[in-house]
Amino acid sequence: MADRPPLVLQPPTPETARNIANTLRFLAADQVQKANSGHPGMPMGSAEIATVLMTKHLRIDPKDDKWPGRDRFILSAGHASALLYGMLHLQGFLTLEDLHGFRQLGTRTPGHPEVGETPGVEASTGPLGAGFAMAVGMAAAERMTAELFNTPKFDIIDHHTYVLTGDGCQQEGAVYEAASLAGTLGLGRLIVIYDRNQITIEGSTSLAFTEDVAKRYEAMNWHVQTVDGQDMDAVDAALVAAKEEKLRPSIIIANTTIGRGAPKKAGKASVHGEPLGAEELASAKEAMNWPAESFYVPKDVADYFDVRRGEWMAMRQEWNDMFAAYDKKHHATARELQRVLAGELPKQWKNSLPEFPADKAVATRAAGGTVMNGLGAVIPELIGGAADLSPSTKTEIKSGANPEYIARGAFLGRNIHFGVREHAMGWFTNGVALHGGFIPYSSTFMVFHDYMRPAVRLAALMKLRNIFVYTHDSIMVGEDGPTHEPVETLAALRTIPGLNVWRPADANETAFAWQAMIERKDGPSAICLSRQNLPVFDRTKYAGARETLKGMYILDTDTEKSPEILIIASGSDVQLAVGVAEGLRKAGKAVRVVSAPCLEVFKTQAEGYRKKVLPKRLRKRLVIESGVVQGWEGVLGDSGIFAGMAGFGLSGKAEMVADHFGLTVPKILERVNREGW
C-alpha cells in the first residue's frame, strides 16, 4: 500500500491558531449561556486540541459529509457538543444561526451530537464511552474496506479515525473492552485524544480514578503519548507521531484545564455542566483578551477557514480523480465498492436463502448458521462474530469470499473474534455500520443482551442496519439454569423503539427473518433463536414460510371458517401452540394457530390484514411464549390466557424445566379447560 503524499493544508499563523482556539472556546460558552443549559467546561479546555486537529490533520469536506475518503472525528465526550458545533461551524457544516439554536427543539444542534440530525456528526454520543467504542469499529471497518478494495496503485480507503474522549469515558468498562480489542487488532489508524482535565461531576478524578492510564494502555498494546493539551505544537507533534505509528492504535493523553479561561471556575467541577453565568463569561473573555460580543468569529479566523474550505474541496476532488482512474482500471471493483457503500444488496441475493425440508428437526440457531452462510456466500459485506460463543451461536461465516477471521495486520476476513466483550461488540458493530461498506452482525446468548443493551438502544436511535443474533432464547436452555435463561429479555428487547425483534418458529421462518433483517436499511434487528431442535413445519400443510415477512400470520390454514379460539405463539412455543390446537380440536373446538415471529413488523401491516389475523370478535385468545407477559397484553385483551413465565427459570433438563413451569401441551390444555373454553 503506497502512502498518500502529505496533505497540503495551509497551517494558520500562531496568532490565528490562538484565535481559532478562543473562537471555539467562546462559541461553546456562548451557546451554553444562551441555551441556559449544557456543558462549557470540556469545550473550553480542549479548544486547543480541536484547533490543531482541524487545522493540521482532519481531511473532510463540508460539501459532502458522506465522502467515503473523509477522516472520521468522533466526540466521545458527547456532552461537549458545543465544541463540536463550533468546529462544524468553522468547517462550514453549520451556520452561526444553528449555534444560536443550541439545545432547542427542531434545530440542528441538539443537546448531544446526533448522527443524521447534524451534518458532519459521525455518531450519536453522550452515553459515556459510546463514541470511543464505536470508533474502534469504524477504524476496523476502514482497514477491512481498504484490504478489500485498495490496490497497489490506489489507496482509495486510507482515512484516520480520530476520537476526543474525556475522563468519564475512560472509566467505562465498554471503553476498556473496546481498547483491549483495538490493541489486539492493531488498529494503527485509530487515534484517540484523551482530554485529561481530571475533573468529573463529583469532583477530582483522584476521588475515584487513580490508575496509571498510560501504563494501562501500554499493557493493551497501544502507542501512548502524554502532552500538555494546551500546547498546540505539542499536540500537533503527538498527532504526527500517532499517524506514523502504523501497527498500534494511539492514545494521546492531553492534560488540560477544564473551563480554561474562566477566572473563578476553571479547574472546578462547577464548570463541567452548567452555564458560566453572564458575569463569569464576561470575565473569561476579558481574561483571554477576547471581545465581549456573543458568538464572535474574528476576521482572520473566518478568512482562514474560507481558504481551508477550498483546500478541503480540492482534496476531495483529488480523491474523486483518483477514484475515476480506479474506476477505469478496476471497473467491477469500483462498482462493487460503490454498491456496498450505498448499502445496496447484490442482485439475486435472495436466491441464496436456503429452504429446509420438513423431515428433520433443527435448532433455529443451527438453521440461522446455515442461512447466514447461504447469505454470506453472496453478500460479501456481511461480517461479524460472537462474544466468544460462535461454536454455540453458530455464527461463523465459512463460505463466500474471505471466510477468515480478521487479525492484527490481516484485515481480509469476514469473521471477528470479539472476545468475551458483549458491550464492546455492540458498539463495534454500530461503528462498522456507521462507517459503511458492511452489514455487521454480532451474537451471544440471549440473556447476555443485557451486557450490550446500551449499544442496541443507540443502534435503534441511530437507525443503523445492525443485526443482533441472540441464541439460547428461553428456559429451554435447561441445565445452565436461571442465570442463563432469558425470561424477560424478549420483552425488554421489544421495548426498544425501532428495533425489530424476530423469534422464528422453525428453520424456514429463520430464513425469512434473516431476509427481512438484511433488507431493512433504516434500523437494527434482533433475532432470537432456540438452543433446542425444533421440527420444521411441512409447508404443504401449513401456510408458506414467506408469510413470516408479515410479522404474524395464520399458520394452520385449515378449513375452519369460524374459529372459536385463537392461539398465538412465537419461536419454539409455536410447537406448543400446534400441540394445544390439536388437543382442543380433538375436543371438538374450532381453533386457529397464529405464528408471531415479529410483533413490530406486524404492527406496520395494513389494518385489514391485522384484523384478519387477529379478528376483533375473537376474544378467546391463548398466547404462548416462554417469557414474561409484557408486550403481549395488548394481543391478549381482556379475556385472554397467557402461558408463559412469571419469574426466573431453573436448572435442569430442558423438558423438565418446561414441565415445571407448565409449558407443555397437557398442562396448557388443562388451563384452557379450566377456563371453560
> Of residues 423-462, which lie at the interface with its own copies (CB under 8 A)?
423-424, 447-448, 450-451, 453-454, 457-458, 460-461
Please say which residue, 260 or 484, places its beta carbon nearer to its own copies.
Answer: 484
Return the residues of window 294-323 that contact its own copies according to CB under 8 A: none
Near its own copies by CB under 8 A: residue from 119, 354, 637, 662: 637
CA 71 to chain centroid: 19
Identified binder of its own copies from the candidate list 192, 476, 496, 598, rule CB under 8 A? 496
- Asked if residue 561 lies in contact with residue 612, where contact means CB atoms within 8 angstroms, the answer is no
The closest alpha carbon to 677, from 642, 650, 640, 651, belongs to 640
Minimum distance of its own copies from residue 427's CB (angstroms): 10
Q: How far is the CB of 256 from its own copies (least distance, A)?
A: 18
Footprint on residues 35-54 left by its own copies (CB under 8 A): 35, 37-38
- Give least dist CB 204 to its own copies, A: 10
The radius of gyration computed from the CA coordinates of the chain, to the nearest angstrom, equals 28
Size of the site for its own copies (CB under 8 A): 113
Pick from 67, 132, 176, 542 the residue near its own copies by CB under 8 A. Answer: 176
Query: Is residue 168 a contact residue for its own copies (CB under 8 A)?
Result: yes
Contact 625, 632 (CB under 8 A): yes
Residues from 209 through 228 that contact its own copies (CB under 8 A): 209-216, 218-221
What residues form DSSP beta bridges with 567?
593, 622
Among 233, 244, 355, 479, contact with its own copies (rule: CB under 8 A): 479
Do strands 467-471 and 439-445 pair parallel, antiparallel, or not at all (unpaired)? parallel
Member of 200, 373, 500, 525 binding its own copies (CB under 8 A): 200
Angle (CA) 491-521-496 rounded to 5° is: 20
Residues 180-199 that bind its own copies (CB under 8 A): 180-181, 183-184
Rounded distance, CA 536 to CA 319, Å? 52
By C-beta, is 315 or 529 nearer to its own copies? 529
Q: Closest approach of Cβ 213 to its own copies, in Å?
A: 7
- Shortest Cβ 322–its own copies spacing (Å): 35
Question: Which residues from 499-538 bind its own copies, rule CB under 8 A?
Answer: none
Residues with a catalytic annotation lie at 422
Tally of CB atoms within 10 A around 553:
24
| Residue 44: other Cβ atoms inside 10 A | 33
Residues 539-598 that bind its own copies (CB under 8 A): none
487 counts as binding its own copies under rule CB under 8 A: yes
**Local structure of residue 535 (DSSP, 8 states):** P
Query: Sign (positive/negative) of CA torsion 480, 483, 488, 489?
Result: negative
- State how far the Cα of 229 lies from the Cα of 367, in Å rounded to an integer: 53
Interface segment toward its own copies; rule CB under 8 A; list 299-307, 319-327, 432-440, 478-486: 478-486
Q: Of 68 and 478, which CB lies nearer to its own copies in the complex structure?
A: 478
- The minimum distance between CB 393 and its own copies, in angstroms, equals 10
**Shortest distance (Å) from residue 85 CB to its own copies:** 12
What single string gives the DSSP state of each residue in 203-230?
Answer: EEGGGT--S-HHHHHHHTT-EEEEEETT
Which of 434, 389, 454 has its CA nearest to residue 415?
389
The residue within the footprint of its own copies, chosen from 295, 296, 323, 405 (CB under 8 A), is 405
Kindly tell me which residue out of 236, 631, 641, 663 binds its own copies, with binding defined by CB under 8 A.
Answer: 631
Q: Minimum distance between the CB of residue 243 and its own copies, rounded to whole angstroms?
A: 23
Three-state SS letters, 114-175? CCCCCCCCCCCCCCCCHHHHHHHHHHHHHHHHHHHHCCCCCCCCCCCEEEEEEHHHHHCHHH
Site for its own copies in 111-140 (CB under 8 A): 111-112, 114, 124-128
Q: Which of 10, 151, 320, 630 binds its own copies (CB under 8 A)?
A: 630
Stretch that binds its own copies, among 249-257, 509-517, 567-575, 640-648 (CB under 8 A): 640-648
Q: Are 493 and 547 in contact (CB under 8 A)?
A: no
Q: Single out the residue of 40, 41, 92, 110 in contact with its own copies (rule: CB under 8 A).
A: 110
Residues 58-87 that bind its own copies (CB under 8 A): 78
By beta-carbon proximity to its own copies, the closer residue of 117 and 303 is: 117
Q: Let me know: does 576 contact 668? Beta carbons within 8 Å.
A: yes
CA 495 – CA 237 distance, rounded (Å): 48
In Å, how far from its chain's centre is CA 39?
25
**Binders in 337-396 for its own copies, by CB under 8 A:** 386, 388-392
State the nearest-atom distance from the C-beta of 527 to its own copies, in Å.
19
Site residues for its own copies, 18-37, by CB under 8 A, read 35, 37
Interstrand relation of 223-228 and 250-255 (parallel, antiparallel or unpaired):
parallel
CB of 591 to its own copies, least distance (A): 21
Measured from the CB atom, the residue of 20 and 458 that comes closer to its own copies is: 458
Contacts of 325 (CB under 8 A, 6+ apart): 154
Nearer CB in complex with its own copies: 144/334? 144
Cβ atoms < 10 Å from Cβ of 483: 10
Asked if 491 touches its own copies (CB under 8 A), the answer is yes
- 163: CB partners within 8 A, 6+ apart: 73, 74, 76, 131, 132, 135, 190, 191, 192, 193
